[in-house]
Amino acid sequence: MARRLLTRLGTLRQLEIFMKVAETRSIARAAEELYLSHSAVSVQIRKLAEALGLPLHEVIGKQLHITGAGLEVVKTGHELFAAIERLDERINNLKGLTAGNLRVSVVTTAKYFLPRILGAFCREYPDIDVEFKVGNRAQILERLNDNRDDLYIFNDPPDELGITTYRFLPNPLVVIASARNPLSKRKDLRWADLASETFLLREQGSGTHTAVRRHLEKHRLALGKTMTIESNEAIKYAVIENMGISILSAYVLANASEDGLVQLRLGGFPILSDWYVVHPQARKLSLIAERFLEFVLKRGPDVLPMEKIERQVKQALARH
């Protein structure tokens, strides 16, 4: 019976395409991410559904929903591709660290520095294929729960999951403003001096939002007018346009002079936190993932503008 199912299951490519549709909840978005046409994706999904004899998705009110059969296919697909990946890892380990796959998922702020580390690693190991995913905290937590990747980068790792964490970089959260904001010219600011400003904040549940709220509650500080924006990049450009001020990782200031951003000289800041590399405790890392983890922990700071970051932190701490 299992063999009869295998003959009906279609190709691994069809399975991969359907899993991408299930992940994005959109045929158009899946086609874009897979570099396929909309019609090509639709045809492959239809063939897979016909082979199994059950619909795998349905559209209700312009929203794509995965059926019960589709969810079972996705679950089995993850298991199947995980088994294939383990075989690939074992083969590559037998060959030595010359080729293979590395999957890394990071929360959005990490995109300001992790590509530098990945770039340096890939120059040393040019035959390794890297899959690099960026998302908000909820999206990366979902990937962690599904065990989709080798390693994950968080600035506020979840406590409730069975994970192994490695602290590897400081993550100072600073108050930033446009160079056109009058506050940017002032020294020795106090929290009360920001009372009339609009704070542009990340969404509730993000690592940055949690760290900021924790700091404010600890020091009994209140926010005035706020605006929620679910993207560091969007916040950054809104601050540049002087729509308000924000509290973000100092890594956002990597090109501050070019962007027209400044770090406000505010007592009590920065908020000191850290970046962590994370993986599930039950996951056995491949040789490639182990080597990248070692690279991040030992050499990551060497390829980042740490001198500038540390100087910003020291200057801010001197004003506490």
Q: What is the Cα–Cα distance from 224 to 194, expressed in whole angstroms?
A: 8
pLDDT grade for 284, boundaries at 50, 70 and 90: confident
pLDDT at 166: 92
Domains 98-170+274-311 and 173-271 share a fold: yes
Fold of 173-271: D-Maltodextrin-Binding Protein; domain 2 (3.40.190)
Amino acid occupying residue 189: L
With b meaning 16 or more CB within 10 Å and e meaning fewer, what string describes 92-103?
Answer: beeeebeebbbb
pLDDT at 306: 65
The Cα 6–Cα 309 span in angstroms is 55
| Tens-place pLDDT, residues 123-168 | 888 888 889 899 888 889 989 988 889 999 998 888 777 899 999 8
Residue 107 has pLDDT above 80, yes or no: yes
Give me the helix-helix angle, 287-299 and 68-95, nearest 10°.
Answer: 80
Average pLDDT over residues 24-53: 89
Amino acid at 78: H
> Amino acid identity, residue 184?
S
Please provide the distance, in angstroms rounded to a whole number, between the alpha carbons at the two ends of the chain. 70
For the chain, give every domain's residue range: 2-75, 98-170+274-311, 173-271
Q: What is the pLDDT of residue 279?
A: 92
Q: For the chain, give the mean pLDDT.
A: 83
Q: 9 pLDDT exceeds 70?
A: no
The 10s digit of each residue's pLDDT in 219-268 is 888 888 889 887 788 888 899 999 999 988 887 776 555 678 888 888 88
- Whether pTM > 0.75 for this model: the answer is no
Q: Are 286 and 125 in contact (CB under 8 A)?
A: no
User: What's the pLDDT at 212?
Assistant: 85
What burial class does residue 303 get, using C-beta atoms within 10 Å of its C-beta: 0-12 exposed, 13-18 middle, 19+ buried?
Answer: middle
pLDDT score, position 106: 92
Tell which CATH architecture fits domain 2-75.
Orthogonal Bundle (1.10)
3-state secondary structure the chain: CHHHHHHHCCCHHHHHHHHHHHHHCCHHHHHHHHCCCHHHHHHHHHHHHHHHCCCCEEEECCEEEECHHHHHHHHHHHHHHHHHHHHHHHHHHHHCCCCEEEEEEEEHHHHHCHHHHHHHHHHHCCCEEEEEEEECHHHHHHHHHCCCCCEEEECCCCCCCCEEEEEEEECCEEEEEECCCHHHHCCCECHHHHCCCCEEECCCCCHHHHHHHHHHHHCCCCCCCEEECCCHHHHHHHHHCCCCEEEEEHHHHHHHHHHCEEECCECCCCECCEEEEEEECCCCCCHHHHHHHHHHHHHHHHHCCHHHHHHHHHHHHCCC
The pLDDT of residue 68: 92
Banded pLDDT at 103 (limits 50, 70, 90): very high
What's the CA gap between 315 and 320, in Å, rounded?
9
- CATH 1.10.10.10 is held by the domain 98-170+274-311: no
Cα–Cα distance for residue pair 280/140, rounded to 1 Å: 13
**Residue 203 contacts by C-beta under 8 Å, 6 or more apart in sequence?**
136, 209, 228, 229, 230
Using CB atoms within 10 Å of the CB of residue 277, give its burial: 0 to 12 exposed, 13 to 18 middle, 19+ buried: buried
pLDDT above 50 for 105: yes
pLDDT bracket for residue 10 (50, 70, 90): low
- pLDDT for residue 1 is more than 50: no
The per-residue pLDDT for 67 is 93
Q: What is the pLDDT of residue 153?
A: 93
- In this prediction, residue 2 carries a pLDDT of 44
